[in-house]
A and B are shown apart, each in its own frame.
Chain A
Amino acid sequence: MTGPVIGAVVSRDLKLAMRRRADIVSVLFFFIIVATLFPLGIGPEPEILRRLAPGVLWIGALLATILSLPRLFADDYQDGTLEQLALSPQPLALSVLGKVIAHWLVSGLPLALLTPLLGLQFDLDPEILGVLALSVLVGTPALSGVGAIGAALTLGVRGGGVLLSLLVLPLYIPVLIFGAGAVDAASSGLGTGVYFSILGALTLAGVFFAPWAAAAALRIALE
C-alpha cells in the first residue's frame, strides 16, 4: 500500500520538472559558475587547485542544492495541492519521501553527473574523478532529505530562502566532511571504504527519518 503514493508523487513531480526544465538547468549552471569562480579567485596553479577541488566542488553542490530547495514545497503550498496531500488517507511522510526522491532525481543526480566534468577544470586524475562523482551520488540524497525539513519549516515564512540556508547548512556539515573526505583520502592513496559507509549511513538516515520530521513541519505550516 505504500508503493503507489510514493510512485504517484515521484512521477507527478518528475512530469512537472520536465515541463519546467529551465529550473533544473539554472541550478546546474549555478553549480558550474560557482566551480568556475574558484580558480579565478585563487589562481590557476594546478597543485593548489587539485588540493582544493574536493572541498570546492562539494560546497558548490551544497549551495546548488540549497538553491533548489525553496521550490520543493512552495508551489504545492501555493496552488493548494499540499493541502490535498495532507488530507490524503496515506501518510504525509510518504508523499514527502516521494518529493525528496523526485528532488534528488532532478538535482542531486545531475550534480553528481556533472562533477567529473568540473573536476577536469581542477586537474583531477580520472580515478579521483570517479570517487568524487560517487561521493556526490551517495551523499546528495541526504542533502535532499534534510533539506526537505528546512524547506517545510520555512514554508510561507518571510525571508524563507535565506533562513532556509541558515537552518540547513549547519546540518549539512557531516555530509560535507565525509563527502570531501572520501575524495581527499582517495587522492592521498588511502582507502575510501569507511567514508562511503558513513556517507551511506547518513543518506539512509536522511532519507528515511527526515520525511517524518518534514511532514510534521508541513502540518504546522498548513495550520
Chain B
Amino acid sequence: MNEILFKFAAPQRFYPLAGRMIPFFAVLAVLFGAAGLWLGLAVAPIDAQQGEGYRIIFVHVPAAWMSMFIYLVMAFWAGIGLAFNTRLSGMMTTALAPTGALFAFLSLWTGALWGKPMWGAWWVWDARLTSSLILLFLYIGFIALQAAIDDPRRADKAGAVLLLVGVINVPIIYFSVQWWNTLHQTGSVSLTKSPTMAAVMFWGMLLMALAFWMYSIAMALMRARCIMLERERHTEWVKNLLGTTPHATRG
C-alpha cells in the first residue's frame, strides 16, 4: 500500500499521469453536464408551487454537495500529508481549494437567485445558506493562510493542520447553525424539500453532481500540474521535461 502510494505520489510520476487523465475527465464533465442540464431544464416537469424558478436546484444542490465534499477530500489529503510527509498531498489540497471555494460561492449565489422569487429577498438566514457562507469563510481562511506563508513546505503543513481542525469543527458549526435556525424560525421553504421529488429530478441532480465531480477533478489536476512545475522547477525532471533553463519555467 505504502509503496504504491509513494510511487504515484512522487511528482515526476504523477505529472505525466495527470496530463493523460485531464482530457478524459474534461470530456466526461461536458457529457454529464449536457445530459444533466437537458434533464433539468427540458425534461423535468414544472413545479406546481415554485414554477420554473425551482430549476436552479440542478445547479444549487450539486454545488452545495461539492463544496462540502471537496472540503472533506482536502482534509483527507491533509491527513495523508501530515502522516506520510508526501509532497503531492500539499499540492493537491492547494489545487483543490479554489474549486471548493468556487462551489461554495456558486451554491450561495444560486441560493440567492432562487430566494429572490421565493422569499422576496436575496438573502434569508436559512440554515443551509448560512452554513454554506461559513464554509466559504473556511475556504477563504485556508487560501489566505497558504498565500501568507512563503515557504511551500510550511504552507502545506500549516494548511493541513487548519484543514483537520476545520473538518472536526464543520459538523459542530452545522449543528449550531441548525439549532440557531430552528430557534429563530424564519418560516423559510427549504430548497430541497420540494413536495414531490420526481425521479427525473433526482437523475438530473445526480448527473449534474457527476459533471461537477469530473470538472473538479480535471481542474484540480491541471492546477496541481502547474504547482508541481513551479515548486520543482529546480529539479532535474522539470528541467528535462521542459528542456529549458529554470527561468523559462515561470508562468
B183 / chain A contacts, CB cutoff of 8 Å: 181, 184
Known: A171-B165, A220-B157. 4 other contacts (CB 8 A): A153-B145, A166-B140, A169-B137, A213-B161
Q: How many residues of chain B have a CB within 8 Å of chain A?
A: 29
Shortest Cβ distance from B9 into chain A, in angstroms? 20
Cα distance, A149 to B154, chains bound together (Å)? 15
Asked whether, in the complex, the Cβ of A154 is within 8 Å of the Cβ of B154, the reply is: no
* Interface: B113 (CB within 8 A): no
Asked whether, in the complex, the Cβ of B148 is within 8 Å of the Cβ of A213, the reply is: no
Given contacts A216-B161, A221-B154, A223-B154, contact A157 B134 (CB under 8 A): no
Q: How large is the interface on A (under 10, 10 to 19, 20 to 34, 35 or more residues)?
A: 20 to 34
Asked whether, in the complex, the Cβ of B145 is within 8 Å of the Cβ of A154, the reply is: yes
Cα distance, A167 to B162, chains bound together (Å)? 8
Asked whether, in the complex, the Cβ of A177 is within 8 Å of the Cβ of B177, the reply is: yes
Cα distance, A194 to B149, chains bound together (Å)? 41
Cβ 8 A contact of B177, one of A153, A166, A173: A173
Cβ 8 A contact of B176, one of A157, A178, A220: A178
Cα distance, A34 to B55, chains bound together (Å)? 45
Q: Which residues of B contact A (CB under 8 A)?
A: 82, 134, 137-138, 140-141, 144-145, 148-149, 153-154, 157-158, 161-162, 164-166, 168-169, 172-173, 175-177, 179-180, 183
Asked whether, in the complex, the Cβ of A174 is within 8 Å of the Cβ of B176, the reply is: yes
Cβ 8 A contact of A153, one of B82, B140, B161: B161
Shortest Cβ distance from B220 into chain A, in angstroms? 23
* Interface: A158 (CB within 8 A): yes
Asked whether, in the complex, the Cβ of A220 is within 8 Å of the Cβ of B172, the reply is: no
Closest 8 CB pairs of A and B: A174-B176, A170-B137, A177-B176, A220-B157, A167-B141, A177-B180, A157-B148, A166-B141
Asked whether, in the complex, the Cβ of B148 is within 8 Å of the Cβ of A167, the reply is: no
Cα distance, A184 to B172, chains bound together (Å)? 20
Asked whether, in the complex, the Cβ of B161 is within 8 Å of the Cβ of A170, the reply is: no
Cα distance, A178 to B173, chains bound together (Å)? 11
B134 / chain A contacts, CB cutoff of 8 Å: 170, 173
Cα distance, A158 to B148, chains bound together (Å)? 6
Cα distance, A220 to B153, chains bound together (Å)? 9
B164 / chain A contacts, CB cutoff of 8 Å: 213
Asked whether, in the complex, the Cβ of B148 is within 8 Å of the Cβ of A159, the reply is: yes
Given contacts A154-B145, A220-B154, A221-B154, contact A174 B173 (CB under 8 A): yes
B145 / chain A contacts, CB cutoff of 8 Å: 153-154, 157, 163, 167
Cβ 8 A contact of B161, one of A149, A163, A173, A181: A149
